[in-house]
Chains A and B, each alone.
Chain A
């Protein structure tokens, strides 16, 4: 930390002193290459490796996984949680917006559930602050599970296996909204994908990344992506306006869904504000954005550079960044994804 502080002080005060120096000379004094490198170093490790949650009860996780794949949790027994969140598509479903049988299209793209335990805001607008709070929304949303809790509980009660498991794990509570939620959330918390090549690099394995990927990471930091995509999940811990530097939406005519967090708070400053999603396993979770409008990672990266950073990328820079993002794919259940 002391190194960072010194670097930052040097960068800021150094910059200020340099700015105050007499200008207009043939060769005005500027920051040396070394100073520039330090400036970049000011935010040297904004990302941390992730580690699985070892405090989870494996029996609850197993029960949650069973519930996760059980269509009995939907109102019409037609879809399960796993219909829109499966490992092959990075715990999303690979389409712009999900469209289940006899249902309207969902409002937003199905987000990945991998590493969701490391996020601090949930769903696209960041409406919820805990997984337990969030779970009720898809369960009761007619476009998603379309279920009523009492029906779900009644259905599960008929199953001797569930009855036994719930009684074994939750004693007298048995099958309730709270215990179903707890089991499902336990499973969600277990969906950790450690051991990405980038994690290995962060832990000191220089050979884990290629030179291009390292250059991509350097670009990721210096170009400003890391301003929002930071923390263990490279995102997931803040809200940001889509179009931070340049307007992304046509303010005159946007669908309600694009208003983002404004729909939750009705505060003007929350207009077009969305949760910054995690970039872990991002190579697996196309299409991108809340509306699935970016079909490839290159498209998504370019949109971000233009509207969030206000700095268009060259195709080479885009390639390097996409290359770096590919190193964020971890492994699940001991197998690389």
Chain B
């Protein structure tokens, strides 16, 4: 897989991770605050329930201290202030909704605050009169009953007391005119001379009865107002809105957490794959580079070997030429010096011998130079091949004769087919082949023996076989035997250029023929040449 999309993937995942994290950072870290917010909302509702209960207690006189009102209201105010900072976990719409609910609740709370203040004010007066009136009324009634003519008034007072107390207990207002009537009747009755003595006392009593009549409905209305104020409902609504939004926010947060963890996994996965692929690619590149270096190294070594071989060949050439040319040149020089010094005293035979020697050596050198030229031409690829009608038998005989002229202890036994009708061959190349093979056979048979030369025709091929009983060629030398200036290791003092077999090989190849060698050291050598004719 190509690593580029991999890298793009994990870079994209990282970017997405950062973006998601940045946008949802606030939603992920505030769980503790949210808990507190929700707790405060529920505590608010509980406190309102307590307040309502306490209002009823105060109304019935079960509670007399107003401190709990103020403590609770102070706490509610504190909670309301705290709730101003809606949790940032919520969406902005969620926060707006909670804030709107909070504002509604705040209005209701302020209403409750005011109603409770009013309630305390009215209730204090009512409780004061309620505490005083029954006792004072009872006392005055007793006192009046003891007075002459006061029993009727005492009875009326009893009635009034009963009516005021019932009025205080009844939730409805229909009873009020009745009580007010009773109070008025009482006043009228008190105006009679009988009650004169206790008029002040009765006046106070009636003031309190009126206070009860006046304040009781106010207190009840205020209590009703407080109890029916939708403040707890507003708090519940706020709580509900918050809980709903909070739940949604939690869901969102959970989703974002999931997305974040998936992204983190993607980053890690793609990143790891990317790194692994990169490493693998690097390793491959390294291996390829190593192989390339290896190849270059090998080529260099081969080049070096070739160069070395070339150098060796040059040095062989130099040693060969220095040796092979110096010997005939020395001999030519000798003959020339002898002829110069003693030409007048020499017999004609001796003179002819020296001239012949000079000529032979010159011919030898010429042949060697020719061989070098042939090899040079062959290696340059310009060796000419020009087959022409040819009397192979005669040509072979000439060659044998020429080689045999060299003398030596060797007997050449030719077996030459007579009929070569229609054969076409390049005589020069054939000459190179046969002359070299035959002269080698003669040369490397220092202990004499037979040299067999066979020339025959098989179909379109001319076959030439040269075999001797000479020193042979070691198997180790055979593979390189046909290279230029290469000579077998067992040649000893036998002189030679190392060119002959190379010329043979090049010539055979040029004639599209083939060459086979079969030789054993000490037993002899046999060459078989096939050339199309």
A residues adjacent to B (C-beta < 8 A): 1, 4-5, 8, 12, 15-16, 18-20, 23-24, 26, 28, 30-31, 36, 39-40, 42-43, 46-48, 118, 120-121, 126, 129, 222-224, 226-228, 230-232, 237-241, 244-246, 269, 273, 308-312
Contact = CB atoms under 8 A, between A and B. Distances in A.
Contacts of B66: 230-231, 237-238
Interface of B: 60-62, 64-67, 69-71, 73-74, 77, 117-118, 120-121, 124-125, 127-129, 131-132, 134-135, 138, 141-142, 145, 151, 154-155, 158-159, 161-163, 165-166, 168-169, 204, 207-208, 211
A226 B58 CA distance: 13
B162 A12 contact: no
A46 B61 contact: no
A337 B522 CA distance: 150
Given A24-B151, A43-B64, A12 B118 contact: no
Contacts of B161: 15, 19
26 contacts: A5-B62, A8-B60, A8-B62, A19-B161, A19-B165, A23-B159, A28-B155, A28-B158, A30-B141, A39-B131, A48-B67, A121-B70, A224-B128, A226-B64, A227-B128, A230-B65, A231-B65, A237-B120, A238-B117, A239-B121, A245-B125, A245-B211, A246-B207, A269-B118, A273-B121, A309-B132
A236 to B, nearest CB: 9
A308 B141 CA distance: 24
A305 B357 CA distance: 179
B211 A4 contact: no
Nearest to A246: B207
Contacts of A47: 65
Given A19-B163, A39-B135, A311-B204, A227 B125 contact: yes
B178 to A, nearest CB: 14
Given A4-B62, A15-B161, A16-B162, 14 more contacts: A1-B62, A12-B61, A16-B166, A19-B166, A28-B155, A40-B131, A47-B65, A120-B70, A224-B129, A227-B124, A230-B67, A244-B125, A245-B207, A310-B208
> Interface centre among B62, B131, B141, B145, by most A CB within 10 Å?
B131
A227 B118 contact: no
Main secondary structure of the interface of B (DSSP, over half): helix
A244 B124 contact: yes
A241 B121 contact: yes
Contact of A23 (B60, B125, B142, B162): B162
A232 B67 contact: yes
B166 A310 contact: no
B165 A310 contact: no
10 closest Cβ pairs, A-B complex: A19-B162, A120-B70, A231-B67, A224-B128, A46-B64, A43-B64, A23-B158, A238-B120, A227-B128, A227-B124
A25 to B, nearest CB: 9
B67 A310 contact: no
A261 to B, nearest CB: 9
B118 A28 contact: no
Contacts of A20: 162, 166
Contacts of A238: 66, 117, 120-121, 124
Nearest to A232: B67
Contacts of B62: 1, 4-5, 8
Contacts of A1: 62
Given A43-B61, A226-B64, A245-B207, A23 B155 contact: yes
Contacts of B162: 16, 18-20, 23
A1 B120 CA distance: 21
Contacts of A246: 207
Given A12-B60, A237-B69, A227 B163 contact: no
Contacts of A118: 67
B132 A311 contact: yes
A328 to B, nearest CB: 16
